[in-house]
Structure 1
Amino acid sequence: MTGTILSSATHRRTATAVVLTAALTGVLAGCGAPSTTTSAASAPAAKTAGASPATATGSSLHMITNQGHRLAFHVTAGHLPAIVLDAGGGLDSSYWKNIVPALAKKTGSEIITYDRAGMGASEAVPGPWKVQNAVSDLRAGLTALGATHDVVLVSHSEAGEIATYLTREHPGQVAGAVLVDASLPEFATDAEIARVAAATQARVDALKGHATTKADRQLLAVAANFVPDQRAYHKIAWPAAVPAILIESAQTPFPTSATDARAWRDAQAEFAHAAPNRQLVVAANSSHDIPLDRPDIVEAQIEAMVKTVR
C-alpha cells in the first residue's frame, strides 16, 4: 500500500542530527532494562510525587527516576491500549508534537511520549550508549505509569532497536508495533555495519572533545560500541507473535547511497515477509522523517494497529 502525496513538513532537524539519522539511524540504538533490585548497577524506577500541570497539548509531565537518572515522560490521558511514541536518534518527545493531539482525538487512547537519556528534559548518562540501558529506561517509565501490558509501540528509526529488545525481553507488554523507517536486525549485516561506521568516522573524530549539542553527544556515545552492538543486534529477531506494521520511507535514511538504500529496503521487506502478522507500507514522497512529511500515514497505521489489538 502506498501513501498519497502531502507537502513536506517545514521543520527539519539540525545538520548534526541529519548526519546522525542519515548515516547512523538505521542501525543505532539508545540507552536502558527495568530494574527490580537496588544494586548499584540497577536501581528501581521511582515516580516523583505528582505530575506537572497539563501542557497546551493536554499532556502532563512525569519525571521518573531509573538507575540514578531522571527521565521525562509526557502523558495524554485516555483509555487503553496506551500508545507509546519513541523518536529516533538525536530527537526528543517534541518530534511527535503534531501527531499526539491528532491521535488523541482519533483513538481516544492514552498517549505516552518521552525523552531518552541525554535528550530533551531527561538527564544524561555518561559513557557509551547501550541498548540495554535504553530498554531499562523505557520499561521503567512505562511501569511507573501503569502501561505494563497491551501497549501499542510506535518506534521511529533508531528506536526500532529499543523496540526489538523490549518486545523480546518483556513478552505481553507490547501488543503490537508500528515501526516507522525503523532500525531492524536484518539491516545490520557485516557489510552494512562496516559501511556505516566508515561513513561516519570523520564526523565522529571531528566531534571528539568538541561535541556541543545533545545530538552530537549521543552520536559519540552510540559510535563508541557501534560495531559490536550491531553485530549482536543482527543475531536477534522480532517475536513472531507480536504483530507489526512497517512504514518505509520513499527515500530511506540513505538518499545519496543507492547501495545502502537498497540494503535498507531489502531489510524492511525481509522483516515484513517473515511472519503473516506483518505489513509493509511505503510512504510516498517522504524522507526518513515520515512523521513530519507524512503524518497522515503514520496516524492511519497507528489507528489500524490499535483496532487490531483491542
Structure 2
Amino acid sequence: MKRTIKTSAVIALACAAAGIGLAGCKADATAAGSPLAAHRTDDPFTGTKKIQVNGKAVNVSCSGTLSRHKPVIVLLPGLGDGLDKMAALQKTLSKDDRVCSYDRLGEGASDKPDGPQSFASTGKILTGVLDHVAGHHPVVLAGHSLGGMIVGRYAPDHRDKVKGVVLMDATTPNSVADITRDIPANATGQAAQLREQTLQVDQGNNPENLVITDTKVRSAGNIPVQVIKHGKPYLAAFPQYGPRMEQDWTAGQHKWLALSHRSKFSIAAKSEHYIYLDQPEVAVQAIERVAAQAAR
C-alpha cells in the first residue's frame, strides 16, 4: 500500500518508536512455572476466534498443521495494523507450517487496553497468546515495524520458548532518541509536524496506548535471527532531515543483530516500509528459512 512521504515517515518512525520498548517484558510474570505458563494448551484450531488473556478478549487467527517437529510461526503486524494486514503472508506460510497472528490490545477486533501499556504488559498478552496457540511447542516470531520491536524486546526474556526471530523493518531500538536528534525542536513545516506526531505516539497516544522507550538490544541466545531492511530510501526524500533519518534507521536495523551471534542482515531492494506487501517472497523465504533452522 502506497502512502505519502509524510504518512510513511510517521508510520515508520512512530510505529518503530512504539515497537522499540516492547521487548522489556519481565521474566517473573511469564517464565515457566508462572500462572500463565501453567495453563499452556495446544489448540490446533483453524480460522479466527477470540481467546481470553488476562481478562481481555484477544482476536487470534491460525492456519496450517501443527507438527511435533516444527515450531509454530507467530506474526506480529505494525502499529495501527490488525492481523488482517498479514493474512496473505499467513496463508502462504501455512502451506507448510503452523502459522498464527493476533490483534494486540487496541488493534483490530481485540479489546482496548484499560490504560497506558508498557512493553511488559504487552509482553504478557503475547505470552498468553503463545501459551494458547503453541502450548509447549517452540515458536518463531516474525514482526513488522512496531511488531518487530516487540519481538526484539520479548525474545531475550523468553529463550525457552522463542527459537527464531525475523524482523521486517522493525522499529529501531533508539527511535525516540533518533527522532529528537534527527529533527530539531526548532524545525518548521512538515518536519515539525512529523517530530510532534512521532513524539506524541511515543508518549502513548496511539491505538495501543503503548508508551515507547528506547532500549539496549539484549541477547536472545544462539537462535537464528533475520533482520530485513527496506531498500527504497523513502525517508531520505523527506525535506532537509530525510537523509539523516534514513541513516539512523539503517543503523538501528544493524543494532538488532545483537540479538544473536547467528543474526543475518539483508535488504529488500524493491521495498519501502511494508516489506511483506512490497516483496512478499522476501518475507516468506526469510521466515521459512529461520523456521527450518529452529526445527533442527
Please classify the TM superposition score into its range, dividing by the shorter chain length.
Answer: 0.7 to 0.9
Cα drift, residue 26 of structure 1: 2.1
Partner residue, 2:262: 277
Q: Is the 8 A contact 1:283 1:290 kept in 2?
A: yes
Q: Is the 8 A contact 2:223 2:260 kept in 1?
A: no
2:244 to 254, 259, 262: 259
Q: Is the 8 A contact 1:153 1:176 kept in 2?
A: yes
Cα drift, residue 100 of structure 1: 1.5
Cα drift, residue 61 of structure 1: 2.0
Cα drift, residue 254 of structure 1: 2.8
Structure 1-normalised TM-score? Answer: 0.74
- Consecutive unaligned residues of structure 1, counting only runs of 5 or more, are 1-10, 37-41, 208-214
Structure 2-normalised TM-score? Answer: 0.77
| Identity score, percent | 23
Partner residue, 1:290: 275
Check 1:252–1:122 CA distance in 2 against 1; reply closer, same or farther (3 A cut): farther
Partner residue, 2:102: 114
Partner residue, 2:76: 86
Q: Is the 8 A contact 1:85 1:154 kept in 2?
A: yes
Check 1:88–1:191 CA distance in 2 against 1; reply closer, same or farther (3 A cut): closer
Check 1:97–1:46 CA distance in 2 against 1; reply closer, same or farther (3 A cut): farther
1: CA distance, partners of 2:259 / 2:37: 35
1: CA distance, partners of 2:139 / 2:167: 14
1:218 aligns with 2:225: no
Per-residue CA shift, 1:223-247, capped at 9, x if unaligned? xx44xx22xx2x3424242220111
Cα drift, residue 197 of structure 1: 9.8
Per-residue CA shift, 1:134-168, capped at 9, x if unaligned? 11111101102234442111011111221123211
Partner residue, 2:18: 28
Aligned-residue RMSD, C-alpha: 3.7
2: CA distance, partners of 1:143 / 1:253: 38
Partner residue, 1:302: 287
Partner residue, 1:249: 230
Q: Is the 8 A contact 2:58 2:110 kept in 1?
A: yes
2:113 to 122, 125, 128: 125
Cα drift, residue 87 of structure 1: 0.3
1: CA distance, partners of 2:84 / 2:102: 9
SS in 1 for 2:18: coil
Per-residue CA shift, 1:275-297, capped at 9, x if unaligned? 54111110011110101100010
Check 1:93–1:16 CA distance in 2 against 1; reply closer, same or farther (3 A cut): farther
Q: Is the 8 A contact 1:45 1:66 kept in 2?
A: no
